[in-house]
Chain A
Amino acid sequence: MQLGVIKIENDKKFQIKELILKKNVKKESRSSILSLRKINWRPYAMVIALAVIAIFFQINTNGIFLRARNFSILMRQMSIIGIITLGMALLIISGNFDLAAGSTVALAGGVAAVMQVWYGWNTLSSVLIGVLVGGLLGTWQGFWVAYRKIPSFIVTLGGLTMFRGIYLVITKGITITPLTKSFTFFAQGFVPKNLGMALAIFSCLVYTVLVIQGTASKKNYGIKPDSVIIMICKIVLVSGIIILTVIMMNYYLGIPIPVIIMLVIALLLNFISIKTVFGRNLYAIGGNIEAARFSGINIKKTIMIMFVIMGALCALSGILLTGRLDGATASAGTMFELDAIAACVIGGTSLKGGKGSISMAIIGALVMASLDNGMSLMNISSYAQYIIKGLVLILAVWFDVAAGQKNE
């Protein structure tokens, strides 16, 4: 249909329309003033919270917390659960859960280790089989959720015990070790300092090009782009963060490889969630599954793919964990799913679905990792740490709820 043709015909007899328009103009001028005041506060609040946590630990650990060595360790600790958190965020946005994430970590990482240690497979094949196992476990769960309409809570609760059970049946509970150097390198290695810095500079350049390109494209479509000042601010800020982080990492041994892997996945999933049809459909399904259905979205397929992605990400996390521990253990990955869900929620992902973002989820993961790391540095017992982390989770959500009510 031609768009221009749907013009509302002006009918002299019925002038009501103009009246409505006039009224509208008034409303609009009012609310444009309003929009300035209604900045999305959440990202800023998260960054501030993170800064407060960092300062708190910095003081209470006599300056160890922000030292290069600890920063590197913190980021590496974070990366393993961080990868799961990223997938979990998308899954929750689509209105689902994965309580079996930790067990998938164990089983997929375990299979990779078994292949290498028992059957002498090389690292690449072992890693690939591990990821494949993760994908299959995701397929299994996706099938029941998407095609058999079993709530994901139930399906993945089943997976939680089943997958670990399978792992224990295979390994009989013994630790599978030792792995080859190349396997552990993925989890324990570092990017050479020069290469790291080169990568950082390269990323800054790519980002700059993308910003400029985006502006040009907007102009092409006649959409008002950001002002030059905002563009420059964006580029300076992002480049600054990248370079500073790498400098800090290079003070120690360089960028840990798992951190690079996590960041690549974060960028990829962020892109998928914002710029692709698949990502858009995840939000639509989580926001209102009925509306999505009536709009012709293939819900089953979308949910299925999401679970497969989640399974593969868990597997990757499992492989890194196995590599870091230099072996697969019976308790590997226990409670990972809960940490991941907590990180998502702290990052503002709505458990009802339809709301959330990758970037905030990763900040949520950083908050959780900082708490873990900082409290350990302060010699707080791991038992007490459980209590504090639980409290933080509740307080974070309460903060959200309270702020939401105020906004109304």
Chain B
Amino acid sequence: MDEEDIVTKYILEVKDLTKEFPGVIALDNVSLHVKLGEIHAVIGENGAGKSTLMKILSGVYPYGTYKGRVIIDGSERHFRNVRESEEAGVAIIYQELALANNLSIAENIYLGTSKGSKYGIINWDQKNHEASEWIRYVGLEEQPSTIVMDLGVGKQQLVEIAKALSKKAKILILDEPTAALTENEVEHLANILRDLKKKGITSIFISHKIQEVLKISDTVTVIRDGKTINTLSNYELNEKGIISMMVGRDFSHRFPERKYQKTDQLIMEVKNWKLAKPKSLDKYVFKDINFKLYRGEILGITGLMGAGRTELVNSLFGVYGGETSGEIYVCGQKVMIKTPEDAIRRGIGLLTEDRKRFGLNLSGSIRSNISLASIAKFSKYGYINENKEIRECEKYVDSLKIKMTSLDNLITKLSGGNQQKVILARWLMVNPTILLVDEPTRGIDVGAKYEIYILMDALLKNGIGIVMVTSELPEALSMSDRVLIMREGRLVKEFDNNNLTEEIIMKYATGSD
């Protein structure tokens, strides 16, 4: 295919797409033009309408529930369901992968198709053979019979891509594909997408991570408040420009300046802290952990995935499988923390990494989610004074600027950033001295991130010390007073945050020091 063709031919066109939900306009005359064989990023804040757009393209919202036109390969399509969009060559790979974990790669690839079977009986040799071609196509070296559960997230994603390609997908839509990937995996994914591009497969990928978008994509469409703001091609792309389009205003810093500084008052000390794996005491999840936390500081803990950071903060909060040893001192006093109850009593709060799994009660109201950890505060003899509870919740809603209409609405009605603030409110309500935060801004948009940073800074003024686990190096660098680097269950380096760079951190985190 020559250059001329690629420039002029649109494989996918979306024209004047409008989708309304009762009372809310999710998409407002959105247009999108994707050229054949390009890597096209759709970027926007949470709630901007990206997912709605993708759901229309994939037939989840059937034709008739929206206004506007979807044109694929020059002809207008009216998808009534997911199957029809798949037949037209559109494949979506969701952030939460839709693989059957306990089945093999080959089984997953052919899940839902009757290919390779005769009278309902499966010819496994043939299937495995075909699957192995697709597996190699996406750069995997695994056997088709490998169980998906045994693969890392990055490889699982490639299996999803292989599965999509096996269904003759021409347009791959990836929803936040890099959210759970390490940098190496992101790089690998980018290479695969570029490879696919050469083979004429178009990729659309949705993201908030601007730097990755810049690195990977040829074209970027920015969506805000359900409207297409702009489509930029390669040479026009720069980070600031995109951010300002996403939030509608130019802001030169993604991080606020820290206002409150660390004091010399020690509030927590961890000595020789170790977590042994259950049933094998000589193997450890982490060991020889020693650190101090001072009032008014943010202590960043960073490192690669699997370095043991989440396990460390969870163990300090009384959640662990296995056997701990070592000592924890809170405000000079040696403490035993066996359960979250103990931790909360000692003034420790934990904002968990996985909001949906460990944080939110998705069938509960905003109110019950905020007051979850401190309900005893509003109760006498087990009877809840609801009015007091509501008052107190309202205070936090105001001070954290949680956007909502009623405390009694379901938590699921809030955006990711606001849900995160709800959990933050939950922990502020217990009056912690020490706040452990694990990836506090994962999966929330730029604006909400900024607000979370300001909040964290404001908390320091009240004499809290924050331990912040983060994989985002700019976050660690911009927000912490000191940075600890973990690698393979050990603290390998502690830095005062002066003249520290991402390169230095990566060197220690990867062990290439």
The residues of A with any CB-CB pair to B shorter than 8 Å are: 1-9, 11, 13-17, 19-21, 23-24, 27-28, 30-35, 37-38, 217-218, 220-223, 275-278, 280-281, 283-284, 286-288, 290-298, 350, 352-355
Contacts and interface: CB of A to CB of B under 8 A. Distances in A.
Among A1, A27, A32: residue with most chain B CB under 10 A? A1
A223 B451 contact: no
Contacts of A13: 253
B387 A277 contact: no
B426 interface: yes
A24 B403 contact: yes
Contacts of A27: 403
Contact of B23 (A17, A31, A280, A291): A31
Contact of B319 (A286, A287, A294, A297): A294
Interface string B382-407: 11101110110001100111010110
B403 A218 contact: no
Interface of B: 22-24, 225, 247-249, 251, 253, 256-257, 259, 317, 319, 339-341, 343-344, 350, 352, 357-364, 368, 372-373, 375-376, 379, 382-384, 386-388, 390-391, 395-396, 399-401, 403, 405-406, 426, 428, 431-432, 447, 450-451, 454-455, 457-459, 461-464
A8 B454 contact: yes
Nearest to A5: B462
A4 B451 CA distance: 17
Contact of B339 (A4, A30, A296): A296
A32 B461 contact: no
B153 to A, nearest CB: 20
A293 B373 CA distance: 10
A291 B372 contact: yes
A355 B372 CA distance: 16
B401 A291 contact: no
B319 A9 contact: no
Contacts of B253: 13-14
A3 B395 contact: yes
Given A7-B458, A15-B249, A291 B360 contact: yes
Given A7-B458, A8-B451, A275-B383, A31 B405 contact: yes
B400 A6 contact: yes
A38 B382 CA distance: 32
B361 A354 contact: yes
B387 A221 contact: yes
A1 B462 contact: yes
7 contacts: A1-B432, A14-B253, A19-B447, A20-B451, A24-B403, A277-B375, A352-B363
Given A20-B451, A24-B403, A276 B384 contact: yes
Given A275-B386, A291-B372, A295-B373, A9 B454 contact: yes
Given A23-B225, A221-B387, A275-B384, A354 B23 contact: no
A360 to B, nearest CB: 15
Nearest to B371: A280
A7 B399 CA distance: 6
Contacts of B344: 295-296
Contacts of A221: 387-388, 390-391
B403 A287 contact: no
B317 A287 contact: no
In the A-B complex, the 8 residue pairs with the smallest Cβ-Cβ separation, listed nearest first, are: A34-B23, A287-B361, A354-B363, A221-B387, A295-B373, A296-B340, A296-B341, A1-B462
A91 to B, nearest CB: 16
A148 B470 CA distance: 35
Contact of B428 (A1, A32, A277): A1
B109 to A, nearest CB: 29
